[in-house]
Amino acid sequence: MPKIYPIKELRNTTEISEMCHESQEPIYITKNGYGDLVVMSIEAYEKVLAKLELYEKLAEGEGQQREREKMIPVKEAFSRIRSKYGEK
Q: Which helix (H) or strand (E) holds 65?
A: helix 42-70
Q: What is the pLDDT of residue 21?
A: 94
- The pLDDT tens digits of the residues spanning 3-31 come to 999 999 989 899 999 999 999 999 999 99
Percent of the chain with pLDDT over 70: 98
Which pairing describes strands 27-31 and 34-39: parallel, antiparallel, or unpaired?
A: antiparallel
Q: What is the pLDDT of residue 11?
A: 92
Q: Which helix (H) or strand (E) holds 34?
A: strand 34-39
Instruction: Classify the phi-psi angles of 70: left when phi > 0, otherwise alpha if psi is within -120 to 50, otherwise beta.
Output: alpha
